[in-house]
């Protein structure tokens, strides 16, 4: 079983834009990770805005999908934030991860304070990228 899995992952390393899905979690050393099956963690990495989303505690434990490629069998690099490569699956829907300031009506794609009023933005999972 373990041999089969590692063969599948090394094959996947050659495919661009691969999608993997699991439970967003933390590794034992507190790095972003995806639990793709029981006791099998894949470390996640990406650009700064992407890692900001992975570090958002509000998303930990969700049914999470990322698109990118394997750097090694247990390290997955997510495509850059502007390619919209992270999703949460909830109630049978594939939701985009966005952040919303309800004071200024400004939408962003990584957690943090609003560029306008400095309010900490709300997590807003959406079915589409429409405003
Ligand atoms: Zn604001």
| Structural domain of 69 | 2-90
Cα(107) to ligand 1 centroid in Å equals: 9
Cα(105) to ligand 1 centroid in Å equals: 7
Give pLDDT tens digits for 35-48. 999 989 999 999 99
Residues 102, 72, single domain; the answer is no
Residues 34, 47, single domain; the answer is yes
Q: How far apart are CA 88 and CA 68, in angstroms?
A: 15
- Cα 85 to its chain centre, rounded Å, is 7
Give pLDDT tens digits for 4-33. 555 555 555 555 689 999 999 999 999 999
Tally of CB atoms within 10 A around 9: 19
Residues 21, 46, single domain; the answer is yes
Q: How far apart are CA 67 and CA 79, in angstroms?
A: 6
Cα(66) to ligand 1 centroid in Å equals: 28
3-state secondary structure of 80: coil
- For the entire predicted model, the pTM comes to 0.84
Let me know if residue 131 belongs to a domain.
no
Give me the number of domains the chain comprises.
2
Residues 59, 7, single domain; the answer is yes
Cα(119) to ligand 1 centroid in Å equals: 6
Residues 17, 41, single domain; the answer is yes
């Amino acid at each position: 079983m373990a041999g089969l899995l590692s063969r599948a992952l090394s094959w996947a390393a050659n495919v661009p834009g691969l999608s993997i899905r699991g439970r967003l979690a933390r590794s034992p050393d507190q790095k972003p990770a995806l639990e793709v099956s029981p006791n099998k963690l894949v470390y996640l990495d990406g650009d700064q805005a992407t890692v900001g989303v992975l570090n958002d505690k509000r998303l930990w434990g969700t049914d999470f999908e990322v698109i990118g490629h394997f750097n090694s069998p247990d390290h997955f690099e997510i495509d850059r934030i502007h390619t919209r490569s992270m999703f949460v699956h909830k109630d049978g829907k594939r939701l985009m991860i966005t952040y919303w300031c309800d004071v200024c009506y400004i939408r962003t794609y990584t957690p943090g304070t609003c560029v306008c009023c400095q309010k900490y933005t709300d997590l807003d999972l959406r079915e589409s990228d429409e405003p």
